[in-house]
Structure 1
Amino acid sequence: MIGNERHGLVGVIFSDILRNGKIPMILLVSTLISAMAVVTVSHKTRLLTAQREQLVLEKDALDIEWRNLILEENALGDHSRVERIATEKLQMQHVDPSQETIVVQQ
């Protein structure tokens, strides 16, 4: 009595896929894996792009600060150069306001 055998639907589908559908099943699994890889890589790329933009903004801010520091250094360097020339070549010296005396010329 072959007609009275009962097989579960899941078992029949699984055995049919193993016998006749190996290539389509491999293609389906490959497609799913590929799709997940694309989603993962896209997500990581977006995160890295956002991080890069943040780093570019920080670099620009640091570059502006660096330029300001260079300008400040140059400005302070000019004052110290003038002071050095005044003391070395013109024999000028700092005056203490508390000991200042008034010299009247006639």
Structure 2
Amino acid sequence: MNSRYKLKKVIRLEKFIRDDILIYGKTPFFLLILIIISSMLIINITYQTRLLIIEHEKIILEEKLLDIEWRNLILEESTLGNSNRIEDIALTKLHMQYIDPLNERKISMKD
């Protein structure tokens, strides 16, 4: 009789908890579900935001590197295109000379 009474008591306790949740606990249970859903959404948005921040930082770093490369190319262009440098190469390496206007000869082609 004692085990039957305990079994009946356990069944009544389960029924009592179930009825309590279904009758009086709908609003708190619904709010708990909403809290869980909103917390999962916050975690997802935070993760996406961190990914976007990392991508933004990579783009800014790439922009800085490209800006440095651009400045170096402009400097190289101005150095290589300098007429003094070209003149120095022509005189020293190629052994070119200026033409004296008295020794200048014009060549024309006949038709």
Which amino acid is the alignment partner of residue 68 of structure 1? N
The list of structure 1 runs, each at least 4 consecutive aligned residues, that deviate by more than 3 angstroms after superposition, is: 8-12
Which amino acid is the alignment partner of residue 50 of structure 1? I
Match for residue 48 of structure 1 among 32, 45, 52:
52
Alpha-carbon distance, 1:74 to partner? 2.3
For residues 76 and 20 of structure 1, do their structure 2 counterparts lie closer, same or farther at Cα, with a shift above 3 Å needed? same
Q: CA RMSD in A?
A: 3.0
Alpha-carbon distance, 1:32 to partner? 1.2
Matches within 5 A, 1:58-77: 58-77=62-81
Indicate the residue corresponding to 2:36 in structure 1: 32
Indicate the residue corresponding to 2:95 in structure 1: 95
Which amino acid is the alignment partner of residue 95 of structure 1? H
For residues 40 and 70 of structure 1, do their structure 2 counterparts lie closer, same or farther at Cα, with a shift above 3 Å needed? same
Alpha-carbon distance, 1:69 to partner? 0.6
- CA deviations over 1:16-71 (Å, ceiling 9, x no partner): 21222111111111011111211221122122212211221121011111111122
- CA deviations over 1:53-103 (Å, ceiling 9, x no partner): 1221121011111111122112222239x66xx9xxxxxxx537xxxxxxx
TM-score normalised according to structure 1 size:
0.60
TM-score normalised according to structure 2 size:
0.58
Q: Give unpaired runs (5+ residues) of structure 1.
A: 87-93, 97-106
Indicate the residue corresponding to 2:99 in structure 1: none
Which amino acid is the alignment partner of residue 17 of structure 2? I
